[in-house]
Amino acid sequence: MGRERVYEVVKRIPVEELGKRIKRLEKDARVLKRLYFIRYLCRGMSVEEAAELVGVTEATGYAWLKRWNSRGYEGIIPDFGGGRPSKLTEEQKEEL
């Protein structure tokens, strides 16, 4: 029922590699957003104003500022800690 493809896509890199590159750039976009926030603060804006401009809550803005002040650039790089442990056992995951 979908439309017929008009243009053929040349697959210059494997789809998995494309996914990895997208993930890396998404992380870079998060860092860029945080750097804009810090720049707004350096230009004299309040945390509330800067947070509103980049589209985050005040609490997030204060957290970013605290991490920036304590660790600098490294502090604002997203660090996902792995998340919640799985409720499934390894055997259950295999079965699934």
35 neighbors 74 (Cβ within 8 angstroms): no
Q: Which residue has the tokens 């004299």?
A: 44
Contacts of 67 (CB under 8 A, 6+ apart): 75, 76
Helix (H) or strand (E) holding 39: helix 15-42
pTM tops 0.85 = no
How does pLDDT run across 2-41, given as a tens digit for each residue? 677 788 878 888 889 988 998 889 888 999 999 999 999 9
